[in-house]
A and B are shown apart, each in its own frame.
Chain A
Amino acid sequence: MISDPDVVGLLYLVAIVCFIVALRFLSSPKHARKGNWVGGVGMIVAIVTTLLLDGIGNWVLIVAGGVVGSVVGVVGARTVKMTAMPQMVALFNGVGGGAAALVALAEFHEVEGVLSWDEALSTALSALIGSISFAGSLVAFAKLQELLSGRPIVFGGQNIVNILVLVASAALGAAIVAGVEGEWAIVVLICLALVFGVMFVLPIGGADMPVVISLLNAFTGLAASATGFVLDSTVLIVAGMLVGASGTLLTLMMAKAMNRSIANVLFGAFGQVQVGVGQPRADDGRTVRATTADDVAVQLSFARKVVVVPGYGLAVAQAQHDVRQLAELLEEKGIDVAYAIHPVAGRMPGHMNVLLAEANVPYDQLKEMDEINPEFPQTDVALVIGANDVVNPAARSDPASPIYGMPILDVDKAASVIVMKRSMAPGFAGIDNELFLDAKTTMLFGNAKDSIVKLIGAVKAL
């Protein structure tokens, strides 16, 4: 048992240093995995130190809870498919937020007499933010897992209801700080925050998920940090805040990549309700041109430079391995192949990178937007697989478009463009995409995986 608070503090400091080193190692793919191990060591130090604190009891319950949680965590993390990663991250994020809220609830219950204002404030904040993160993450999980529609779910007066719920929670929080001791106060606060969490993620469309997921990540970090103030624990304050800062920074970067304000993403409720905003311009006589896998194979085989533009559709079709195979075939023919990665392609920050890394695509072939855009004019074929908004020229040219101003991949500057899509069905496409009507664009309809398998066959047969 450790009874000296200085020893406890120093051991927690070791844990903090481990976490910082872990994040520091993430700056290069070479050391990143080692960093995660260092972080793991830090976590073990923190956990063991806490278990050895003077007076800790209820061992059976602690072990039981730990075992159940570990089984859930290992099984979940081990069995999940790489393509289901965004929802898994959302889920593990949510349970952390839930834990923070429950710790606050238990502390509020345990403390006898009046809490000092700062303890009351941190308890209320931890309960509030933790619950929002828990409920919001579960909704995000349900949307990504397609248990709920990925489209924004909206109803009249939604923003007003949201504001009322938030104001009510803030008022309750203020009451707790002012010295209300009744347990009902924090229970109601948690319930309101849960409602708010659900309401605030429901109207956000699938395309805006990267922003939401990193924001919820920041929330859980902040909740953990607030818990640190409740328990006077430096390791919680620092580790929680590191996550809070990281999540906030990522959220800002994602919003910037879409050239939208965070408020617009969260409360604009247009993520995917872009249907009908830009009306189809079919009446100007241009139509989309469909093509076949054989034609595309010829086009690709005689190109010098091919740029693959992956989007969420690639993840849905789980075609990443086939894409890599196709790219390798083309490289054997001496064709230069690169992948253009838009910062908000997919459903979480960096989604496409993980997806392609899973398929063993060498990471030096993955080019970020600023790097690849100047290369499109020298590109013979741009192969767009399941990406849509991030290649829509309306973002540059049409001020009426909801994505106007978002930096996009300039695929329309390539000599020819091939777009793989499941269908032109309205509603599927979200906003209409001028690119599909462009004279140098041809469409290869069908499931991305089937199309690419066919393409591989056709390229081999040439």
Chain B
Amino acid sequence: MSDISLVIELTILVLAIFLGFEVISKVPTMLHTPLMSGTNFIHGIVIVGAIVVLGFADDTFTKVVGVVAMVLATANVVGGWFVTDRMLEMFKRRPEPRKDSKT
């Protein structure tokens, strides 16, 4: 991991807050559940932390904690992605033109 100064990290954080508000406010109510599920998947990024901790672990304690973190984070990533995909698959179908169903 590179060493970045705290101030730069805070700058990035604050920009991310504004960006987050900006991007999310464009999501229609209809898609709020997939949005929750999609962001759910994105916070699975904590898997990066789990890999780092486990990958550099030396003693048993850290290894045990790391493995559990790895399992939880992977479940978050994989589960979050598949749930979101399943939901969005349902939204993908374009509504059929109403006139067709009248025949």
Q: What residues make up the interface of A, taking CB atoms closer than 8 Å to B?
A: 5-6, 8-9, 15, 19-20, 22-24, 26-30, 32-33, 35-37, 39-40, 43, 46-47, 50-51, 53, 55-58, 61-62, 64-66, 68-70, 72-74, 76-78, 80, 82, 85, 88-89, 91-93, 95-96, 98-100, 102-103, 105-107, 109-110, 118, 213-214, 217, 220-221, 223-225, 227-247, 249-250, 328, 331-332, 334, 341, 343, 348-351, 353-354, 357-358, 360, 362-366, 368
Contact = CB atoms under 8 A, between A and B. Distances in A.
B43 A22 contact: no
26 contacts: A9-B2, A19-B42, A23-B24, A26-B27, A55-B55, A56-B55, A64-B67, A72-B75, A73-B77, A85-B33, A85-B37, A95-B76, A99-B70, A105-B65, A106-B65, A235-B48, A237-B9, A238-B13, A240-B43, A241-B13, A243-B20, A245-B24, A247-B39, A350-B32, A350-B34, A357-B90
B3 A217 contact: no
A106 B85 contact: no
A332 B96 CA distance: 14
Contacts of B31: 26-27, 29, 32, 350, 353
A33 to B, nearest CB: 4
Q: Taking chain A's interface residues, is the majority helix, strand, or loop, or is none over half, making it mixed?
A: helix
**Chain A CB within 10 Å, residue with most, of B39, B59, B65:** B39
Nearest to A214: B36
Interface in B64-103: 65-93, 95-96, 98, 101-102
Give the top 6 A-B pairs by smallest Cβ distance, nearest first.
A69-B74, A245-B20, A362-B95, A65-B70, A73-B78, A350-B32
B101 A332 contact: yes
A232 B3 contact: yes
A76 B79 contact: yes
Contact of A73 (B65, B76, B91): B76
Interface in B50-70: 50-59, 61-63, 65-70
Interface of B: 1-4, 6, 9, 12-13, 16-21, 23-59, 61-63, 65-93, 95-96, 98, 101-102
A445 B14 CA distance: 53
B81 A40 contact: yes
A56 B56 contact: yes
B57 A58 contact: yes
Given A250-B32, A348-B36, A351-B33, A36 B85 contact: yes
Contacts of B4: 232, 234
A80 B85 CA distance: 13
Given A73-B77, A73-B78, A107-B53, A242 B83 contact: no
B83 A245 contact: no
A107 B87 CA distance: 36
A462 B67 CA distance: 63
Nearest to B97: A362
B29 A368 contact: yes
A100 B65 CA distance: 11
A93 B36 CA distance: 9
B57 A217 contact: no
Contacts of A15: 45
A69 B73 contact: yes
A93 B37 CA distance: 9
